[in-house]
């Protein structure tokens, strides 16, 4: 399919429509950019089959770069160093950042001459999302007279001071020396030769060195595909107020904080919790519900397919995510797309997506205070139950207007055009 407009080379090393987290972000954004530009996507070979199943044509729509000789051993090393499944994410990011240059080297071998020949108006590195990953082709692209842009960059939010035990449980020892990434060879050259940075969070934008921050635009990391969120929250006001928790059952996401905070309202029958997801805390949560006598009002659904998640989430007028270190908060946007009112910890990505017109934010100090403040908030939500539908409607409209992948891509394409025009003048 031939598209008109900006000719973009999209580097999305991690992009896969069949996975979650960063690969799904990479795929969703790259796909949205393809719809609005004449784009060619470059991804890693592991994603090739999924691209083909999605209907893309290899060589025409995308190119798969084989770096398995480096990527496969690095993945095995990562699993060994993490000391547990689903923990130690800073280690994953660090090793990925060290192996990424191999991908870019091969990209330049394949596309360098075409970039220098002026076949592309912009080169955009969509993934890695981490601001710690240096790009070694930024200078080459700039020297070819083509703008090089990166993002959305996100990550690196410090652990809140009052949650040292949670940091330990998450095996996040490396995050305390994360600052070392600033000493990487080539970082200054990369920053100086990048024409524009898309920052996925305000914190990440603030981390950009002052001389380069003016060349950045804040565009939240996550977005939604409206076609995937077709159901709507409904609540007739009878029975207990249903609240969903959607995510991995791990310490930093706070499923235990929610359960403890909700206990008085669960016992008196005013609240019902629906947990969707799996993880190491699941059995402890079940035991806590039983021991506290609240098990009749707490349902653990476990891991579910995406369409099944909607079935449960759309029956819950409220979604709670007391996560103390959430970079993006895509689940918050997904809940809002259904018309659910979010309750979030005011730290990181979710706190930037929610304000008091569409949801509730809880300050993050330490665990006891988080439980106390969340309990107070739940009481306020119960007292305002008749206003939740209106809040949910406002949230849904905001997501549809500002937080779709198409809306995000449109913002980026506007920057593309501005950079290309400046380069040509």
What integer best gives the mean pLDDT of the chain? 91
Write down the pLDDT at residue 242.
Answer: 98
Q: Which structure tokens are listed for 111?
A: 């596309």
Band of the pLDDT at 169, cuts 50, 70, 90? confident
Map the chain to HEC letters.
Answer: CCCCCCEEEEEECCCCCCCCCHHHHHHHHHHHHHHHCEEEEEEEHHHHHHHHHCCCCECCCEEEECCHHHHHHHHHHHHHHHCCCCCCHHHHHHHHHHHHHHHHHHHHHHHHHHHHCCCCCEEEEEECCCCCCCCCCHHHHHHCCCCEEEEEECCCCCCCCECHHHHHHCCCHHHHHHHHHHHCCCHHHHHHHCCEEEECCHHHHHHCCHHHHCCEEECCCCCECHHHCCCCCCCCCCCCEEEEEECCCCHHHCHHHHHHHHHHHHHCCCEEEEEECCCCCHHHHHHHHHHCCCHHHEEEEECCCHHHHHHHHCCCCEEEECCCCECCCHHHHHHHHHCCEEEEECCEHHHHHCCCCCCEEECCCEHHHHHHHHHHHHHHHHHCHHHHHHHHHHHHHHHHHHCEHHHHHHHHHHHHHHHHHHHHC
Residue 323 has pLDDT above 60, yes or no: yes
Write down the pLDDT at residue 5.
Answer: 84
pLDDT digits (tens, 9 = 90+) for 38-80: 999 999 999 999 999 999 999 999 999 999 887 777 667 665 6
Residue 181 has pLDDT above 70, yes or no: no
- Would you say the pTM of this structure is higher than 0.85? yes
Residue 97 has pLDDT above 80, yes or no: no
Of the candidate ranges 159-163, 220-224, 291-295, the one whose mean pLDDT is the lowest: 159-163
Of the candidate ranges 77-86, 186-195, 265-274, 320-329, the one whose mean pLDDT is the lowest: 77-86
Write down the pLDDT at residue 369.
Answer: 97
Which carries the bigger pLDDT value, residue 92 or residue 191? 191
């Amino acid at each position: 399919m031939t598209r008109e407009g900006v000719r973009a080379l999209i580097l999305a090393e991690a992009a896969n429509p069949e996975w979650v987290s960063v690969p799904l972000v990479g795929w969703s954004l790259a796909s949205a950019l393809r719809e609005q530009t004449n784009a060619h996507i470059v991804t890693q070979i592991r994603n090739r089959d999924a691209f083909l199943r999605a209907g893309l044509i290899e060589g025409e729509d995308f190119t798969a770069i084989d770096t398995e000789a480096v990527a496969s051993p690095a993945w095995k090393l990562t699993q060994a160093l993490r000391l547990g499944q689903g923990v130690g994410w800073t280690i994953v990011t660090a090793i990925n950042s060290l192996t990424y240059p191999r991908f870019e080297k091969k990209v330049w071998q394949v596309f360098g001459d075409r970039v220098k020949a002026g076949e592309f108006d912009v080169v955009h590195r969509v993934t890695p999302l981490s601001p710690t990953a240096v790009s070694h082709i930024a200078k080459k692209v700039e020297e070819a007279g083509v703008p090089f842009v990166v993002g959305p960059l996100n990550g690196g939010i410090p652990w809140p001071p009052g949650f040292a035990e949670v940091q330990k449980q998450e095996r996040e020892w490396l995050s305390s020396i994360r600052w070392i990434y600033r000493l990487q060879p080539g970082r200054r050259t990369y920053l100086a030769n990048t024409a524009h940075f898309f920052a996925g969070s305000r914190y990440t934008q603030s981390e950009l060195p002052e001389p380069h921050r003016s060349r950045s635009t804040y565009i939240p990391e996550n977005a939604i595909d409206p076609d995937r969120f077709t159901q709507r929250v409904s609540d007739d006001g009878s029975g207990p107020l249903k609240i969903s928790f959607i995510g991995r059952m791990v310490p930093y996401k706070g499923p235990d904080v929610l359960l403890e905070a909700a206990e008085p309202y669960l016992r008196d029958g005013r609240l019902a919790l629906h947990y969707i997801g799996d993880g190491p805390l699941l059995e402890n949560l079940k035991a806590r519900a039983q021991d506290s006598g609240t098990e009749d009002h707490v349902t653990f659904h476990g891991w579910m397919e995406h369409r099944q998640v909607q079935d449960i989430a759309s029956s819950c007028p409220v979604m709670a995510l007391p996560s103390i270190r959430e970079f993006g908060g895509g689940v918050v946007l997904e809940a809002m797309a259904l018309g659910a009112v979010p309750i979030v910890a005011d730290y990181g990505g979710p706190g930037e997506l929610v304000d008091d017109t569409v949801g509730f934010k809880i300050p993050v100090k330490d665990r006891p205070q988080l439980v106390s403040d969340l309990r107070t908030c739940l009481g306020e939500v119960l007292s305002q139950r008749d206003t939740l539908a209106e809040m949910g409607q406002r949230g849904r409209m905001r997501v549809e207007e500002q937080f779709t992948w198409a809306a995000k891509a449109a913002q980026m394409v506007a920057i593309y055009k501005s950079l290309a025009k400046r380069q040509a003048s």
